[in-house]
């Protein structure tokens, strides 16, 4: 990535980093406020239900007492009893006594008018008949509720069913369970009310939050305007916004820190090249049918001054982009020769593979450096293998040139990461190659039923047809090894054998394998003594 791109990405991620925490806090606060408001309304609805039930129950108690009374009907004592029960029952307005289908007397006295027994709108579980909208003759015009049990009824003011103390904005209603409105404390939104009477539930619409509570006899509804919710959200959001701001600052800080690191990386890399901060690790390459370690792939490492290590995946492309790759390749070649000279001279069967970058392949310059560096070392050119990836083959003509020169000089040339590019087949025929390294993804696919799995087998066949040696990369399991051995793949590397090792550890590994497998190849097992990177 170039500088403007990094800066653009930084700004974008910083914006995102700032927005996400604040949006999260807003969202969390909104859900908290909504939940709290719903809980509050639910509690109110339940309290209202309880209130309605109490009003009804106290009426029922009075009715039961009267039905048990043996006083002569409508005698002064009987009237007296009805009157005192009316006064003693808070929600009661009047008590009436029925005989032969008509009202005979009430707590106020004898009835001369013909008042027929009301037909109940609803019978409760206690066997009481409830009639809504009763207008007693002596009343002031308010519609009352009649609860009738046997021969008596009690008239109650519906207001008593909803006289619960709540916040001023909360509105309450009580209905019968079949959806007949009994009382409302303040006028509710009629459409919402009808909807809730038909189908009681809790929730929120454009303007209103609502909750309902229900038992066998009554349905209570509580509603509150959303403006209350918004106020409570604002208040809570103000409380939590510092948290969001803190998160946003941390995120922006992190993004800026990362991008500064990234922006300063080319400069740091240039310094590293000058100060020679690179060193090599060596990942053993195993001859699969004997188990002997026949060499290693050299892998560059960068020890940064801050103690961290950067991955070559990151800094090799960066070095290519910033014109540092030549100097880096030179150092790699020098290091490899320095690290491995003694081993290579002692044991002619060992080889070390060096990775070439794309520009090394197209320019061919690295080859001249290599030849110059090898002069006088007594290392045979055959002992240095070169690995080139497809990225180096974009200019096929030049790549072919470089590879041909390399082979003429005596080096072995391998195509690296084979199979991950698009046009591998085309290169295979055009380029002078000795070996093919099968990419780890194809080794991973062995024994799975992925779509890639059969391709591995074809790659092996193809390499054999073309007369190329095969190196399998990234072997991690004994099953993968067994498959590759069965398919007579020549060489392999991977964590099953060893991670990339520092020079001394690699040399020790090589000797140990030679002792273990050198004389008796049939002894080969899956070693568990792989040394950590």
24-49 residues labelled b (16+ CB within 10 A) or e (exposed): ebeeebeeebbeebbebbbebbbbbb
474 binds, among Mn ion, ligand G, none (CB under 5 to 8 A by kind): ligand G
The residues of the shown chain that bind ligand G, judged by CB under 6 A, are 283, 299-300, 311-313, 316, 332, 355-357, 416-417, 440, 473-476, 493-495, 500
Nearer to ligand G, 18 or 332 (CB): 332
473 binds, among Mn ion, ligand G, none (CB under 5 to 8 A by kind): ligand G
For tokens 């209130």, name the residue: 51
Least separation in angstroms between residue 275's CB and Mn ion is: 25
| Alpha-helical regions (H) of 160-225 | 190-198
Nearer to ligand G, 188 or 414 (CB): 414
Determine the Cα angle at 210 with ends 209 and 213, to 5°: 160
Least separation in angstroms between residue 200's CB and ligand G is: 60
User: What is the C-alpha separation between 266 and 324, in angstroms, rounded?
Assistant: 9
Least separation in angstroms between residue 9's CB and ligand G is: 23
User: What is the C-alpha separation between 189 and 210, in angstroms, rounded?
Assistant: 11
Least separation in angstroms between residue 33's CB and ligand G is: 49
- The answer to whether the CB of 210 falls within 8 A of the CB of 223 is yes
What is the DSSP track for 110-144? Answer: E--S--BPPPPSEE-TTS-EEEEEE--TTS-S--E
- The answer to whether the CB of 296 falls within 8 A of the CB of 353 is yes
Least separation in angstroms between residue 312's CB and ligand G is: 3
Nearer to ligand G, 37 or 417 (CB): 417
The residues of the shown chain that bind Mn ion, judged by CB under 5 A, are 355, 387, 416
Q: Give, as one character, the DSSP assignment of residue 491.
A: E
463 binds, among Mn ion, ligand G, none (CB under 5 to 8 A by kind): none
Least separation in angstroms between residue 354's CB and ligand G is: 6
Least separation in angstroms between residue 299's CB and Mn ion is: 8
Nearer to ligand G, 40 or 281 (CB): 281
114 binds, among Mn ion, ligand G, none (CB under 5 to 8 A by kind): none
312 binds, among ligand G, Mn ion, none (CB under 5 to 8 A by kind): ligand G
357 binds, among ligand G, Mn ion, none (CB under 5 to 8 A by kind): ligand G
Q: Which residues contact 450 (CB under 8 A, 6 or more apart)?
A: none
476 binds, among ligand G, Mn ion, none (CB under 5 to 8 A by kind): ligand G
| Alpha-helical regions (H) of 395-502 | 396-408, 424-430, 440-444, 453-465, 478-486
Nearer to ligand G, 33 or 443 (CB): 443
């Amino acid at each position: 990535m170039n500088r403007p791109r990094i800066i653009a990405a930084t700004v974008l991620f910083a914006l995102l980093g700032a927005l996400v925490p604040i949006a999260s806090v807003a969202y969390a606060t909104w859900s908290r406020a909504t939940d709290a408001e719903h809980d509050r309304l639910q509690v109110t609805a339940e309290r209202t239900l309880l209130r309605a039930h109490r009003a009804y129950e106290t009426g029922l108690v009075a009715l039961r007492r009267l039905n048990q009374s043996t006083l002569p009907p409508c005698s002064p004592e009987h009237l007296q009893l009805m009157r005192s029960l009316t006064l003693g029952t808070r929600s009661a307005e009047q008590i009436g006594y029925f005989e032969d289908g008509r009202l005979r007397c009430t707590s106020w006295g004898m009835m001369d008018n013909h008042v027929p027994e009301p037909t109940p709108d609803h019978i409760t579980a206690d066997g009481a008949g409830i009639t809504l909208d009763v207008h007693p003759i002596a009343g002031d015009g308010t519609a009352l509720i009649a609860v009738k049990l046997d021969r008596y009824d009690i008239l109650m003011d519906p207001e008593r069913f909803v006289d619960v103390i709540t916040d001023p904005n909360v509105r309450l209603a009580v209905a019968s369970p079949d959806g007949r409105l009994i009382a409302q404390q303040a006028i509710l939104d009629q459409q919402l009310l009808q909807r809730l009477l038909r189908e009681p539930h809790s929730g929120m619409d454009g303007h209103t939050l609502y909750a309902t509570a229900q038992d066998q006899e009554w349905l209570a509804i509580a509603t509150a305007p959303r403006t209350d919710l918004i106020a409570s959200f604002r208040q809570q959001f103000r409380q939590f916004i510092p948290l969001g701001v803190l998160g946003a600052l941390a995120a922006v800080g992190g993004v800026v820190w990362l991008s500064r690191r990234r922006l300063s990386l080319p400069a740091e890399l240039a310094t590293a090249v000058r100060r020679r901060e690179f060193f090599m690790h060596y990942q053993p390459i195993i001859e699969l049918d004997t188990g002997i370690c026949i060499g290693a792939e050299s892998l560059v490492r960068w020890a940064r001054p801050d103690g961290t290590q950067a991955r070559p995946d990151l800094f090799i492309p960066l070095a290519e982009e910033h014109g540092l790759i030549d100097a880096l390749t030179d150092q790699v070649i020098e290091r490899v020769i320095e690290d491995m000279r003694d081993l290579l001279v002692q044991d002619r069967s060992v080889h070390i593979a060096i990775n070439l970058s794309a520009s090394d392949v197209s320019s061919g310059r690295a080859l001249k450096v290599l030849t110059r560096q090898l002069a006088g070392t007594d290392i045979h050119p055959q002992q240095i293998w070169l690995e080139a990836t497809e990225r180096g083959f974009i200019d096929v003509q030049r790549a072919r040139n470089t590879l041909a020169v390399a082979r003429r000089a005596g080096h072995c040339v391998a195509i690296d990461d084979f199979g991950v590019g698009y046009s591998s087949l085309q290169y295979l025929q055009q380029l002078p190659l000795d070996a093919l390294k099968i990419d780890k993804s194809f080794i991973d696919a062995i024994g799975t039923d992925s779509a890639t799995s059969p391709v591995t087998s074809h790659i092996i066949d193809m390499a054999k047809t073309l007369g190329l040696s095969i190196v399998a990369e990234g072997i991690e399991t004994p099953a993968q090894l067994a498959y590759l051995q069965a398919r007579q793949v020549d060489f392999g590397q991977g964590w099953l054998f060893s991670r990339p090792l520092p020079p001394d550890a690699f040399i020790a590994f090589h000797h140990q394998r030679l002792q273990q497998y050198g004389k008796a190849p049939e002894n080969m097992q899956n070693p568990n003594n792989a040394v950590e990177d």
